[in-house]
Amino acid sequence: MVDDRNSSDETVQQPAGSAPTVAAPSNTPGLDATLAAGSAAGIAEVATPPLGMRSAGGATLTVLDSSRYTLGSLLGQGGMGEVVLAFDEQIGREVAVKRIRSGSPSGEELSRFVREARVQGRLQHPAVVPVHDLAFDKDGKPYFVMKRLSGTTVGELLAKLRAGGDIDVAATRRRLLRAFADVCLAIEFAHSAGIIHRDLKPANVMLGDFGEVYVLDWGVARAVTEADDSGAIKPKDLGLELDSGETRAGTVLGTPAYMAPEQLAGERAGPAADIYALGCMLYEIACGEVLHGGRRSLTAILKPLDARPSRIRPDSPPELDAICEHATRLDPAERFSSARALGNAVQAFLDGDRDLAVRRELAVHHIAVAHAALARGDDPSSRRDAMQAAGRALALDPTAAEAGELVTRLMLEPPTETPPEVETEIVRQDHATARMQGRLAASSMIGYLAFIPLLIWTGVRSYELVAAFAALAAASGIQVWVLSNSDHISRRGIYLNACINAVLIGLVCRMVGPFIIAPTLVTTTLIAYAAHPALGSIRIVAVILSSGVLIPWALEVLGVLQSTYRFVDGELILSSPVLTFSEVPVQAAFAVLLVALVVVVALLTRGMALRQRRARRALELQTWHLRQILPTHSPR
């Protein structure tokens, strides 16, 4: 069974929760002796009266002096204890008072509470909260007085990093890494005094407002024994033994997400267990995620776990990968030899002492991973894995020419299969360009209407065909405008527009014959459709538009329609059933038509050329930038 009741986050103003509740004998005289040895006369009233009130008591060890401390507001509470703000009238300072919440605590709870105060008080280190006093209140329950803290826990800072928002991620992570190195030294100090913390986690480390670092919650700390720690200091030599005896083997105390496998299995926790918990903390600082998320089963703790922060945050430095893996190995003997060694490794990373040999070795590994990914095939997934691995290799060793060549080849040589996201982006760009060209085509269709006055000027024989020409031109312009502004340009709509244009061209054939203007209109309109692949199949569009000339011509040849031309003595003579050809109006109409066709063709072809040039320029610029950042020579 894993007892995690002490894992509540009593932080800053609340030096951590109490030990878990376990079965134990009732209070004993030995506890009184322990308290008497560690207390002094003149203790304040810290009882259960309402907060902020003072109660009188005798100036003895067990009956408290209300003139010393004035209680204030509740700062925090855990599973068993609570921390109250108080004012030390004698010294003139704010302090924090920790007391047991239960009205009838068991002997085991009392014993552990007192030992927490004595452990914390004996560890005189800047990162351990000082204990000023330890005594009984008037109800016979122990309490202790500590330095009043202000600041933020590492757990709270990590939560802010995960939430994002207005926070400097890089600066916060550096601050946490510096604090982590200080925590390692504090734990090394505790280990040297024969104390194992057993509940190290981000919520139990506080960062003060002025650079202070504190390790909180020593409620489940263990003093090593001669029997199981090869001659180390005994708890009784420290005055830290429990009245109920040392914790039984198989009892699990701590927070499961940060516990070493041997600690979670119920074995006695040694210094290596604290080092494992520190490794879990470092992993969370480096990548923002908890190493052991979810429930941990006893079978899972025996399996190796990938403790590299870079698997979550790819830009995490390889040095932190190596440190985290070293600190969290399954075998306690294979972890860092001490908390100081772990802290020194992190400090060396912060100082910029980067191991070039390790980085080059990792680069070689990632190059091999890239080659293996390419060997699987040329599909998007394999190329993505190869590019990521080659990019990591290049980041680790900028002189790795092989990695640079891989990145260059992958970027410049297109894959045989286009990735879906690329296809989606191309379709999006195609639609944007098609909308722009559709609007231009709509304007050109409306431009047909400008010829109506010229047709009337030259003389009209059949106003019905001229009216039909005007109506079709307007319908084509409106239809292509609506089509180009829709979210999806359908091929049916494109082919419908091509049919309308074919009828328009057929009417032009009836006006001036099939040989002069109509073929030019077919060519110009076809260029507009061919300028973009989203505007239908060019073959189908070409057949539709050509029919606008071929069908009327064929009907004239078959005699179905009145002929618009004839050959006389080697001359081609044009006649029109629709128009009366007048010299000046016809020449003016031809001139306007020529200018319009030239302008439309120029705009379409120049637009295609400019888009092609911009695409080529962008590609060349990317290639140039790539050449600047990639190595061009092999390392020595």
Domains of the chain, residue spans: 2-149, 153-350, 356-412, 424-617
User: By the 8 A CB rule, do 469 and 512 touch?
Assistant: no
Give the strand pairing for 93-100 and 81-88: antiparallel
User: By the 8 A CB rule, do 146 and 206 touch?
Assistant: no
User: By the 8 A CB rule, do 440 and 603 touch?
Assistant: yes
Q: How far is the C-alpha of 189 from the C-alpha of 183, rounded, in Å?
A: 10
DSSP code at position 377 = -
3-state SS track over 286-313: HHCCCCCCCCCCCCHHHCCCCCCHHHCC
Fold of 2-149: Phosphorylase Kinase; domain 1 (3.30.200)
Q: What is the mean pLDDT of residues 79-96?
A: 88
pLDDT at 279: 96
pLDDT digit string, tens, across residues 523-544? 888 877 777 666 678 889 899 9
Q: How far is the C-alpha of 43 from the C-alpha of 36, rounded, in Å?
A: 12
Which residue do the tokens 């190796």 mark?
304
Two tokens at 256? Answer: 């499961």
Q: How far is the C-alpha of 105 from the C-alpha of 524, rounded, in Å?
A: 96
Q: What is the mean pLDDT of residues 546-550?
A: 92
Q: Is the pLDDT of residue 212 over 50?
A: yes
pLDDT-based confidence at residue 328 (cuts at 50, 70, 90): very high
pLDDT digit string, tens, across residues 270-326? 999 999 999 999 999 999 999 987 777 677 777 788 899 988 888 888 889 999 999
pLDDT at 492: 86
Q: What is the mean pLDDT of residues 198-212?
A: 92
Fold of 153-350: Transferase(Phosphotransferase); domain 1 (1.10.510)
State residue 145 phi and psi, 5-degree precision.
-110, 130
Share of the chain above pLDDT 90, in %: 23
Q: What is the mean pLDDT of residues 229-246?
A: 45
Phi-psi region of 144 (alpha: psi -120 to 50; beta: other; left: phi over 0): beta
pLDDT-based confidence at residue 145 (cuts at 50, 70, 90): very high
Of 622 and 354, which is predicted with more confidence?
622
Q: How far is the C-alpha of 322 from the C-alpha of 349, rounded, in Å?
A: 11
Q: Is the pLDDT of residue 225 over 70?
A: no
Neighbours of 391 (CB within 10 A): 17
Q: How far is the C-alpha of 463 from the C-alpha of 441, rounded, in Å?
A: 26
